[in-house]
Structure 1
Amino acid sequence: MAEDTTIGGNTNHQKPPSENRSTLRRIWGFIDHRLEEILVVVGFAIFILLINLQVINRYVLTFIEIGNITTWTEEIARYIFIFVSFLGASLAIKKRESIRVNIVVDRFPEHVRNAIDAANSVFMLYFSFLMVSYGFNLINFQMETNQVTPALGIPMALAYSAIPIGFLLMGFRLIQTLIEDMKGMSAKDGLLTAGISLLFILPAVLFRDGSITLLLFGYFVLFIIFGMQIAFALGISTLATVLATDAIPVDFFPQTAFTSIDSFPIMAVPFFIAAGIIMGNSGIIQKLLNLSDELLGFLPGGLALVAIVTSMFFSAISGSGPATVAAIGTLLIPAMIKQGYNPGFSAAVVAAAGTIGIIIPPSNPLVIYGVVGQQSITELFMAGIVPGILTGLGLILVTFFISKKNGWRGDKESFSLKGTLKAAWDAKFALLVPVIILGGIYGGIMTPTEAAAVAAAYGLVIGMFVYKDLDFKGVYKSLASAGVTSAVIILLIVMANIFGRLITLEQVAETVANFVLSISENKIVILLLLNVFLLLVGLVLEALAAIVILTPILLPMAMELGVDPIHFGIIMILNLAIGLITPPVGVNLFVSAGVTKMKIEEVIRGVMPLLITMIIVLLLVTYIPEISMFFVELTR
């Protein structure tokens, strides 16, 4: 019989080893499955609240003399946003959500793909290790120099700690994915992984005295071909070039990672994403569909027209193409097929209509272009209105005639004013969203970032307390999803800024401009060449990645031609919107086809007339600047 150990009359009961192990497993399970997610959700909720308080302060608290809180709300929100972005990037790695090009890699056998993924993870892990190491050096410097934030006097070391902490967690998740990828690998597969890794190292060894530009872009293309996440492909290609040529110090990487997103305008991106996801998960989509159906459901192609108009409405909420396709396609594509529409055309209409999500404001790609190109986001939003509407009208016209020819109709016999008014009243809270966002921005009441934060808060209030179809679990999932989606974009911007340092140093933009201008000095010809180039880029590169990579290179050339940078932004976005419905990358095509488990070939056949329509709109906008610049010129 075991005896108790007593000290001072108290009995110490030791926990059995099995209970201790169980506790450790629970702690580990929390860290492994929930740590970043909970922090991201809490962080998102806090900075949405802070920016809404900032707006309330300007129009309410100032008048009742409670005091000005803007000086600290913006500062805290910015630093929380930076932490959330890097934590979300770690979560994205865990969930394997990223922007990458898989055209080549997907053609390999599974064991080769696993070897490639393992090699990619090794290099991403090494990059993360350096960011952690140099990140802590940066913190030490901040502490030694006693640098503090302007408003609250918080040590800058605390803010900068987002870099090493974020990349430390990313490294941890990369180790997990690496272990998973190497499970079941044979010795032959392990040698293949080592061979691919050696292939990645060779250029830096063989071309140490070569052209910095050639090495930088050569590495980037190599990593893209091998399916590395585009964000890391940008960062690692820069790192490899720097290690080979000593072009710039490596210790500037974490500094740039922080300063590139320590920006109030860039915070509009996660807010718009959150607003779109929150409202997509509530009853707003159904209300908009009902209204569109009352307006157009009686016409030939009624359901297809409803898809386009609803996409235009929802685009003014979500700012995302694929999100619009997923939300609307799930409801309407099966309904169209049931009504007798051609399945491929049904999916194609929704895919093409979803492109309006990145043209009409508020558009996340326009925000990214504005941040990267240092242009007014408000003016870009103004410039996107007419091209977005023109794209929608063009798609409506073509869809109408195709549907009339094939005898496809909606589910209503005639137009009903009473039904339309009722549907409009039911959708009033949904219709108020673009009024709040665009009215607030154009009326000078709010900045785009503030308008986006207000839209996110509005979506939460409407979903939880008005429509009552969004509970706390739904809010948690929406914010977690928004955190991951926005983090992928923000990490892309971080790495593009690191990549851009070498582009600036090597004067790549000037070289490209001189080359193009040597071909022709005719503005019409050069704009045509730019459109062809951007359309080709859209075939293989996701829109956001193309914007952050190409804007610093192409914008100076466009400005040298006398093209207004706002106008050029719309030209670029329209080209990349077309890329959403052109294979092999065409995200909208795959999302739309995935809704009904349809073959992608069927959707591609159906999208051709709609693709031609969008190219015509592109040419009109390119050569008639007044289409995009009309509202902008009124305010200048």
Structure 2
Amino acid sequence: MEHGSATVDKVKDQGNPIQPISNFRKFIGILDRRFEEVLIVAGFLTFIILINLQVINRYALPFIDIANITTWTEEISRYIFIFVSFLGASLAIRKGESIEVNVVMNRFPDHVQRAVKVANSLFMLYFSYIMLKYGAELITFQLSTNQSTPALSIPMAIPYSAVPIGFGLMIIRLIQKFYMDTKDMEMKEGLLATAIALAVILPIGVVGQGSITLFLFGYFVLFILIGMPIAFSLGISTLATVFATDAIPIDFFPQTAFTSIDNFPIMAIPFFIAAGIIMGGGKIIKKLLHLSDELLGFLPGGLALVAIVTSMFFSAISGSGPATVAAIGTILIPAMVKQGYNAGFATAVIATAGSIGVIIPPSNPMVIYGVVGQQSISKLFIAGILPGVLTGLVLIVVSYVISKKNGWQGEKTSFNMKSMVKATWDAKLALLVPIIILGGIYGGYMTPTEAAAVAAAYGLIIGLFVYKDLNFKGIYRSLSKAGVTSSIIILLIVMASIFGRLITLERIAETVASFVLSISENKFIILLLLNVLLLLVGLVMEALAAIVILTPILLPMAIELGVDPIHFGLIMIFNLAIGFITPPVGVNLFVAASAAKLKIEDVIKGNKILLLAMLAVLGLVTYIPQISMWLVGFMK
């Protein structure tokens, strides 16, 4: 078929004047498919190189200062990161990837779900139009006032243009999505979508000047229930509240969209995601598995223990629970089932062990909590070490007991020191990653963002030139995927910052704190109530979304209660880590079940005792602060 097509093309080239038009259309088609991807990959490579150049210049070339490199590389990297984030958000819309809650909508008939989806697209389109319009006005203002950047003295309008450009692309992608959703829609579904949209906006015109809190949270809950992506739920509920109450000027929206992520520490998120994706699909993960097998494979439940230890190792690379589950599950679940393990238990072990990925540093939720709560990311990282290790040890003991009871024995029958030493040597390049990241941070050599950039570059170099299991096509796919994944998180932070403005204005955090403290002044009871609240939130909301929404509300209360904000960060993240393995939103459960080709109910059955073990460790972490804070005390 390919040869035949090539022959036809030659004939057309020689004698068909329509061919140039056809080629142009093909070019436009390719541009449409790859436009954001190409720019995202180029952006990722650029700021990975720039931040690594900054580190290299500081230590490898200590006597050479390349034109004040630290200042200008950081500024360029931040601005490229902002462009990449909004481009990634546009690409995420095209790919249909988002963080949303569909528990309620899944119970409705298909035609209702389609109608609601169309109504959601209309709201998202209008919000994006507002961001485009007022973003363009903001740029016009900056040009008229000649504002420029601190380091490079380029017009501020250039980096700020990321907002209207990004939302302009989102409008294009939303229109494409709207067309695909409506082209085969029946008239009654279209009318239903219109009726839903009108019903949602009706309170704005009817109620008039009402309570900011009531509008803000009422609309937010409504949008969550109808399955709108959580990021847009935050932004659109704020916009609806502003229309109803005139609480803040609308031109605040695009300005906050930029300033909320013009932040060097937040750049650690895409770097850690990229490092995890790059190193999760190659020889690094296999060498870690082999080392864990040599260490514990001879014990009852050997492969289950291997899964837990490897998850702990890989957590120190990826910073992500689902990434850890995906990387390890595809390899170990089939192997465990083959050796006679119950399939539900095997899958549950992988899913539960993967939740350690957000507790052991580096951790993307810790970075987000640190940015939103304005806490030290380095302190959060070191505070997560002992709780993460403790969780791993408890899961190992529980899995060992369950496996011994059921007679699940590995292929090996004894420990071999020589083989273990050889496996350790073979895995040396993988084991260096957490040493580079954590050693660089706590040795004072690198910031968390710089360490994350070095980890991403390290993964690229090892994959390309040492293990040679990564080619340029693989790099393109990995960075494109990292761009989409990180942009979903970054857009969430953008919208939460806009949402948070009204929370601050209405002093909602103080009101919540006063209410909770009125229930009881006993610190232990309030911490118990907070745990229950966070566990319930984890049932229905993705961890990253919960952190950006709840941190501004709950952290002030924790501080007033006398809880150290670093300790509270670990309590919050541990609770939400349990959410990774509890339905209906437990991401790790679904990733593991997909890898095992197993029903989610079977995974849940196999997970009961492991879940109880996680809850027991949560109690220890909550009520014994030293578990989190002991190592923090050694920091300068």
Calculate the TM-score normalised by the size of structure 2: 0.97
1:66 is displaced (CA, Å) by: 4.7
**Is 1:456–2:450 an aligned residue pair?**
no
1:32 is displaced (CA, Å) by: 1.4
Separation in structure 1 between the aligned mates of residue 429 and residue 417 of structure 2, nearest angstrom: 20
1:596 is displaced (CA, Å) by: 1.8
**Is 1:513–2:513 an aligned residue pair?**
yes
Which residue of the partner structure matches residue 394 of structure 1?
394
Q: Deviations over 1:4-34 (max 9, x none)?
A: xxxxxxxxx9996622431331232122100
Which residue of the partner structure matches residue 367 of structure 1?
367
2:210/2:244 contact within 8 Å kept? no
2:303/2:332 contact within 8 Å kept? yes
Separation in structure 1 between the aligned mates of residue 74 and residue 260 of structure 2, nearest angstrom: 17
**SS, match of residue 217 in structure 1:** helix
Which residue of the partner structure matches residue 418 of structure 1?
418
2:84/2:483 contact within 8 Å kept? yes
> Is the deviation greater in 471-480 or in 195-204?
195-204
Q: Deviations over 1:190-243 (max 9, x none)?
A: 011111111221222233222110110010000000000000000000000001
Which residue of the partner structure matches residue 113 of structure 1?
113
Which residue of the partner structure matches residue 561 of structure 2?
561
Which residue of the partner structure matches residue 40 of structure 2?
40
**Is 1:243–2:243 an aligned residue pair?**
yes
**Is 1:576–2:563 an aligned residue pair?**
no
**SS, match of residue 34 in structure 1:** helix
1:287/1:426 contact within 8 Å kept? yes
Which residue of the partner structure matches residue 494 of structure 1?
494
Separation in structure 1 between the aligned mates of residue 262 and residue 543 of structure 2, nearest angstrom: 23
1:67 is displaced (CA, Å) by: 4.7
Which residue of the partner structure matches residue 325 of structure 1?
325
Match of 2:400, as an amino acid? F
Which residue of the partner structure matches residue 79 of structure 2?
79
Which residue of the partner structure matches residue 281 of structure 1?
281
> Is the deviation greater in 609-618 or in 17-26?
17-26
Separation in structure 2 between the aligned mates of residue 306 and residue 101 of structure 1, nearest angstrom: 33
Separation in structure 1 between the aligned mates of residue 343 and residue 171 of structure 2, nearest angstrom: 44
- Structure 2 gap ranges (5+): 1-12
Instruction: Report 1:193-592 matches (<5 A).
Output: 193-592=193-592
Separation in structure 2 between the aligned mates of residue 492 and residue 340 of structure 1, nearest angstrom: 43
1:178 is displaced (CA, Å) by: 0.6
Match of 1:356, as an amino acid? I
2:314/2:324 contact within 8 Å kept? yes
Q: Deviations over 1:118-152 (max 9, x none)?
A: 11111000000010000000000110010110111
Match of 1:512, as an amino acid? V
Match of 1:289, as an amino acid? L
Instruction: Report 1:582-621 matches (<5 A).
Output: 582-621=582-621
Match of 2:296, as an amino acid? L
Separation in structure 2 between the aligned mates of residue 206 and residue 218 of structure 1, nearest angstrom: 15
**Is 1:130–2:130 an aligned residue pair?**
yes
1:224/1:230 contact within 8 Å kept? yes
1:329/1:347 contact within 8 Å kept? yes
1:303/1:411 contact within 8 Å kept? no
Aligned identity (percent) is: 73
Separation in structure 2 between the aligned mates of residue 15 and residue 373 of structure 1, nearest angstrom: 66
Instruction: Report 1:114-193 matches (<5 A).
Output: 114-193=114-193
Match of 1:130, as an amino acid? I
1:183 is displaced (CA, Å) by: 2.0
1:105 is displaced (CA, Å) by: 1.3
2:57/2:65 contact within 8 Å kept? no
Q: Deviations over 1:585-610 (max 9, x none)?
A: 11111111111221111100111101
Separation in structure 2 between the aligned mates of residue 40 and residue 110 of structure 1, nearest angstrom: 35
Match of 1:279, as an amino acid? M
Separation in structure 2 between the aligned mates of residue 94 and residue 631 of structure 1, nearest angstrom: 44
Q: Alpha carbons of 1:299 and 1:212: their partners in 2 closer, same or farther (altered >3 Å)?
A: same
**SS, match of residue 324 in structure 1:** helix
2:47/2:77 contact within 8 Å kept? yes
- Structure 1 gap ranges (5+): 1-12
1:57/1:68 contact within 8 Å kept? no
1:351 is displaced (CA, Å) by: 0.4
Q: Deviations over 1:340-360 (max 9, x none)?
A: 000100000000000000000
Q: Deviations over 1:367-411 (max 9, x none)?
A: 000000000000000100000001101100100000000000112
Separation in structure 1 between the aligned mates of residue 67 and residue 147 of structure 2, nearest angstrom: 27
Q: Deviations over 1:140-181 (max 9, x none)?
A: 011001011011111100010000000000010000011111
**SS, match of residue 384 in structure 2:** helix
Separation in structure 2 between the aligned mates of residue 393 and residue 295 of structure 1, nearest angstrom: 14
Match of 1:249, as an amino acid? P
Q: Which runs of 4+ in 1 moved over 4 A?
A: 13-17
Q: Deviations over 1:434-462 (max 9, x none)?
A: 00000000100000000000000000000
Separation in structure 1 between the aligned mates of residue 406 and residue 162 of structure 2, nearest angstrom: 58
Separation in structure 2 between the aligned mates of residue 377 and residue 213 of structure 1, nearest angstrom: 31
Separation in structure 2 between the aligned mates of residue 249 and residue 534 of structure 1, nearest angstrom: 33
2:559/2:565 contact within 8 Å kept? yes
**SS, match of residue 61 in structure 1:** coil
**SS, match of residue 146 in structure 2:** coil
Calculate the TM-score normalised by the size of structure 1: 0.97
Which residue of the partner structure matches residue 8 of structure 2?
none
Match of 1:38, as an amino acid? V
1:516 is displaced (CA, Å) by: 0.1
